[in-house]
A and B are shown apart, each in its own frame.
Chain A
Amino acid sequence: MVQIINTLDAPAEVDRETAVPVNKAENRSLYASREAIHPKAAHGFYRRLKWTLVVVLLGIYYVAPWLRWTRPGDAPDQAILIDMANRRFYFFFIEIWPQEFYYIAGLLIMAGVGLFLVTSLFGRAWCGYACPQTVWTDLYIWVESKIEGDRNARIRLDAAPWSVSKVSKRAFKMLVWLLIAIATGGFWVFYFADAPTLFHDLITGQAPSVAYFTIAILTATTFTFAGFMREQVCTYMCPWPRIQGAMLDEESLIVTYNAWRGEPRHAGRKKAEAQGLKVGDCIDCNNCVAVCPMGIDIRDGNQLECINCALCIDACDAVMDKIGKPRGLINYTTSELYAANVAGKNEHWSWRHLIRPRIIIYFGAWAGVGLAMLFSLTHRSQLDVNVVPDRNPLYVTLSDGAIRNGYTIKILNKRQEARTFRLSVDKLPGATMEMVGDTGAKGASFDIPVDADKLKAVKIYVSTNDPAIITHERSNFEFKVDELNPQASAPAETATYDALFHGPDGKE
């Protein structure tokens, strides 16, 4: 059955739709070369907020590696340091060994859940305010506008033929961009080595080649991403715009054009009013489009390209002030409120919209991971023991019939002071130990000094002639490590390690 709808006889009172035919021939081309966007400078609350965040975030990035934090002994005195060579991560009073990398995993989980939380609250606040792509692009556009002028001047310059003035402006802009890019890459490496020393080495050409290489790569990416690719990075390269669709809900605050108030838009407002037409608040001045760094029209509704930077809010509010209309034609609102207003209800946002089950669950998960990490960080042991048994051969029969197993014992002293530990064997009848190496000592226990913040590995042979053990293929026992002569300030630490003793299986 084919249903034929007679469209010609539609009633005169049709709904007016603002939908854009996205699959119109000129819109559906799969490839289009980029058209340059010349964002106009916006002024207002959100622009000031964004500048503040640019200064704060870049400030943190550039200053953090220079903060000093005195640590005892040979440990580095840099507050934040990822020490690859010595496999340590320092963050103020926290020191993380590679074995504790799960703390980094926990931080990443917190970052992920935090992003979900912020997105369901405020939409793509990360994209609009804090993402490095946004922050550096903002900085680059600012440089551009200082050298080449604002939007109209830049459009003219783009169209102008090449002249000495154009070349010099472009060259100067590129130079400043390049310096910013070098500083970006240049400061990244300071997180991985002692910053003052590395700075000196970089200047004098003595730094390791990997440092120069890293700087070169980050300089190149900063320069191209913030200078030329800009919104294309967000639209084509970044996965987050796609994910955000699943994170938003009807009560998320997102940058919205209130079409119920703005439509129908009229460029010639007074004329239209005189003609008795219905007139919305939007005067179609296109300021919201001109300031948009993503090159979209917010009046088309929430869309993939929109990074929620709110600059269109600033632009529109300035226009509303001028024409004497209330602010907020474009504002942060929720799609639920938008729908309510479309339906004719006069509803306003209140902070109660922030509290809803999804937010509570996200916050609970985020805080839960954070508290669990904090608890484990404050209660973690400063002593760690690992035992690697010899696997080839599993056991050795000695001339008196005793069975010997070999173990490599690794004692990790995470405290910034040298400590001595007593290693002994428990729950293995008749066991004697022999330490391989310079002493070759035999005994029931050994005292092993371990330097501050170091791992010490010792090879131990454990032998027994106990009939109950040597006829068993596997017997469980324990290595015990007890701290000797503890400082009065800290209690003595103890660790045990469950180990296996291998013997002949008795089948031979």
Chain B
Amino acid sequence: MATNIEKDEVSGTPTTGHVWDGIKELNNPLPRWWLYTFYGCIAFALVYTVLYPAWPLPGGATPGILGWSSRGQFQQQMEAAATAQKGTVDQILKLSVNDILKDPKLLAFAQAGGAAAFKVNCVPCHGSGAAGGHGYPNLNDDDWLWGGSPDAIYTTLKHGIRYADDPDTRESQMPNFGIDGILTPDQIDQVANYVMTLSGEQADAGKAAAGKDIFAQNCAACHGDDGKGNREFGAPNLTDKLWLYGGTLADVKAQVTKPHMGVMPAWAKRLDDATIKELAIYVHSLGGGEAPVTQ
């Protein structure tokens, strides 16, 4: 402790004793407003550490006497949201998809909820804009393998497609015409050329004529005599312009030789029924949805 504190000659203020290059530091008092704000901050901090989680300890931070946690707050907010939506969600659970479509308020709620659920669950395969990709159907268009009515979409969502764990899943299988030796490569070439003509694409006329019979014997059972497909088996319409696995001659030949067959999970095991209904309505609203089937 310095007993003899030097005072600055000019201002009369005591100095701290620190000198840099001959410049002495004055020991001016802190501004009072600053000091009181500082004291206030200390008081606030003390109260805060008692009330809220604060001191990190080996077993976790001190919990604070209010018992607050960010996770708990999130839980509370989710519960509050669930309580607030309960009436609407109950109605969605009770009504059929077709009936929800008739109620504008429920429809808007379901579309918004479906859009949110879509982003979490469906985007990895179908894309954020639901435009799909090679092997993953575009949900915006008007071509539906298993049906585009609200009910059909709901069933697809609920039970999935070729999903082994769900006994009610949509099931079908296209034979491996090529690798199982059902058709020779020449026959596959001919039938592929015929398939190209169905949608008005260019093809070898001679091969296509030969392929017509092969089609009638091997393919028409599922895809129909006219090639327009059959939604009972998820057999694609071969006369339109949309191709899940590509629309060139080579793509068609590859698909006949060793068919790709997509799998979609059954969402009944992962999502509650209200969310699945909301998803069905959202997907139905993307532009290609077909009118509800009337009994």
The residues of A with any CB-CB pair to B shorter than 8 Å are: 25, 29, 31, 390-393, 396-401, 404, 406, 436, 438, 440, 461
Q: State whether B131 touches A399 (Cβ < 8 A).
A: no
Given contacts A391-B129, A398-B242, 19 further A-B contacts (CB under 8 A): A25-B10, A25-B11, A31-B31, A392-B127, A392-B129, A392-B131, A393-B127, A393-B129, A393-B131, A393-B138, A398-B288, A399-B240, A400-B240, A400-B241, A401-B240, A404-B287, A406-B287, A438-B104, A440-B291
Chain B residues lying within 8 Å of A31, measured Cβ to Cβ, are 28, 31
B189 at the interface (CB under 8 A from A): no
Measured CA separation A461–B128 after assembly (Å): 19
Chain A residues lying within 8 Å of B104, measured Cβ to Cβ, are 438
Q: State whether B31 touches A399 (Cβ < 8 A).
A: no
Measured CA separation A438–B285 after assembly (Å): 10
Measured CA separation A401–B142 after assembly (Å): 11
The residue on B at minimum CB distance from A30 is B28
With contacts A31-B31, A393-B129 known, is A436 near B240, CB below 8 A?
Answer: no
Can you pick out 7 interface pairs between chain A and chain B where the beta carbons lie within 8 Å of each other?
A: A392-B127, A396-B141, A396-B287, A397-B141, A400-B240, A401-B241, A436-B285
With contacts A392-B129, A392-B131, A436-B287 known, is A399 near B11, CB below 8 A?
Answer: no
The residue on A at minimum CB distance from B10 is A25
| B103-145 contact mask (Cβ, 8 Å, vs A): 1 or 0 | 0100100000000000000000001111100000010111100
Measured CA separation A392–B140 after assembly (Å): 10
The residue on B at minimum CB distance from A404 is B287
Chain B residues lying within 8 Å of A392, measured Cβ to Cβ, are 127-129, 131
Chain A residues lying within 8 Å of B240, measured Cβ to Cβ, are 399-401
B155 at the interface (CB under 8 A from A): no
B237 at the interface (CB under 8 A from A): yes
Chain B residues lying within 8 Å of A29, measured Cβ to Cβ, are 11
Chain B residues lying within 8 Å of A436, measured Cβ to Cβ, are 285, 287
The residue on B at minimum CB distance from A438 is B104
Q: State whether B237 touches A399 (Cβ < 8 A).
A: yes
Closest 6 CB pairs of A and B: A392-B129, A399-B240, A393-B131, A401-B241, A396-B140, A399-B143
- Dominant secondary structure at the B interface: loop
Distance between A26 CB and nearest chain B CB, rounded to angstroms: 9
- Dominant secondary structure at the A interface: loop
Chain B residues lying within 8 Å of A461, measured Cβ to Cβ, are 287
- Tell me which of B11, B140, B143, B288 has the highest count of chain A C-beta atoms within 10 A of its own C-beta: B140
Measured CA separation A429–B130 after assembly (Å): 27
The residue on A at minimum CB distance from B139 is A396
Chain A residues lying within 8 Å of B241, measured Cβ to Cβ, are 397-401
Chain A residues lying within 8 Å of B285, measured Cβ to Cβ, are 436
Q: State whether A399 touches B129 (Cβ < 8 A).
A: no
The residues of B with any CB-CB pair to A shorter than 8 Å are: 10-11, 28, 31, 104, 107, 127-131, 138, 140-143, 237, 240-242, 285, 287-288, 291
Q: State whether B10 touches A396 (Cβ < 8 A).
A: no
Q: State whether B10 touches A399 (Cβ < 8 A).
A: no
Distance between A389 CB and nearest chain B CB, rounded to angstroms: 12
Distance between A441 CB and nearest chain B CB, rounded to angstroms: 12
Chain A residues lying within 8 Å of B142, measured Cβ to Cβ, are 398-399
Distance between A503 CB and nearest chain B CB, rounded to angstroms: 13
Measured CA separation A346–B25 after assembly (Å): 55
Chain A residues lying within 8 Å of B131, measured Cβ to Cβ, are 392-393, 396
Chain B residues lying within 8 Å of A397, measured Cβ to Cβ, are 138, 141, 241-242
The residue on B at minimum CB distance from A401 is B241
Chain A residues lying within 8 Å of B107, measured Cβ to Cβ, are 438
Chain B residues lying within 8 Å of A406, measured Cβ to Cβ, are 287
The residue on A at minimum CB distance from B138 is A396
Measured CA separation A400–B141 after assembly (Å): 10
The residue on A at minimum CB distance from B237 is A399
Measured CA separation A488–B113 after assembly (Å): 45
Distance between A459 CB and nearest chain B CB, rounded to angstroms: 9
Measured CA separation A404–B143 after assembly (Å): 13
Distance between B10 CB and nearest chain A CB, rounded to angstroms: 6
Measured CA separation A298–B224 after assembly (Å): 103
Measured CA separation A398–B31 after assembly (Å): 74
Q: State whether A398 touches B141 (Cβ < 8 A).
A: yes
- Tell me which of B11, B130, B241, B287 has the highest count of chain A C-beta atoms within 10 A of its own C-beta: B287
Q: State whether B242 touches A399 (Cβ < 8 A).
A: yes
Distance between A194 CB and nearest chain B CB, rounded to angstroms: 28
Chain A residues lying within 8 Å of B141, measured Cβ to Cβ, are 396-399, 404
Measured CA separation A461–B142 after assembly (Å): 13
Distance between B118 CB and nearest chain A CB, rounded to angstroms: 12
- Tell me which of A391, A400, A461 has the highest count of chain B C-beta atoms within 10 A of its own C-beta: A400
Distance between B280 CB and nearest chain A CB, rounded to angstroms: 16
Chain A residues lying within 8 Å of B130, measured Cβ to Cβ, are 393
Measured CA separation A25–B104 after assembly (Å): 80
Measured CA separation A404–B287 after assembly (Å): 9
Chain A residues lying within 8 Å of B242, measured Cβ to Cβ, are 397-399
Measured CA separation A440–B141 after assembly (Å): 15
Measured CA separation A433–B11 after assembly (Å): 84
Chain A residues lying within 8 Å of B10, measured Cβ to Cβ, are 25
Chain A residues lying within 8 Å of B129, measured Cβ to Cβ, are 390-393
Measured CA separation A461–B31 after assembly (Å): 67
Measured CA separation A253–B189 after assembly (Å): 98
Measured CA separation A344–B142 after assembly (Å): 95
Measured CA separation A398–B11 after assembly (Å): 87
Measured CA separation A120–B39 after assembly (Å): 47
Measured CA separation A404–B141 after assembly (Å): 9
Measured CA separation A219–B242 after assembly (Å): 68
Chain B residues lying within 8 Å of A390, measured Cβ to Cβ, are 129
The residue on A at minimum CB distance from B28 is A31
Measured CA separation A401–B242 after assembly (Å): 8
Chain B residues lying within 8 Å of A396, measured Cβ to Cβ, are 131, 138, 140-141, 287-288
Measured CA separation A83–B240 after assembly (Å): 54
Measured CA separation A404–B140 after assembly (Å): 9
Chain B residues lying within 8 Å of A391, measured Cβ to Cβ, are 129
Chain A residues lying within 8 Å of B291, measured Cβ to Cβ, are 440
Chain A residues lying within 8 Å of B288, measured Cβ to Cβ, are 396, 398
The residue on A at minimum CB distance from B199 is A401
The residue on A at minimum CB distance from B129 is A392
Chain B residues lying within 8 Å of A438, measured Cβ to Cβ, are 104, 107
Distance between B210 CB and nearest chain A CB, rounded to angstroms: 27
Measured CA separation A29–B10 after assembly (Å): 10
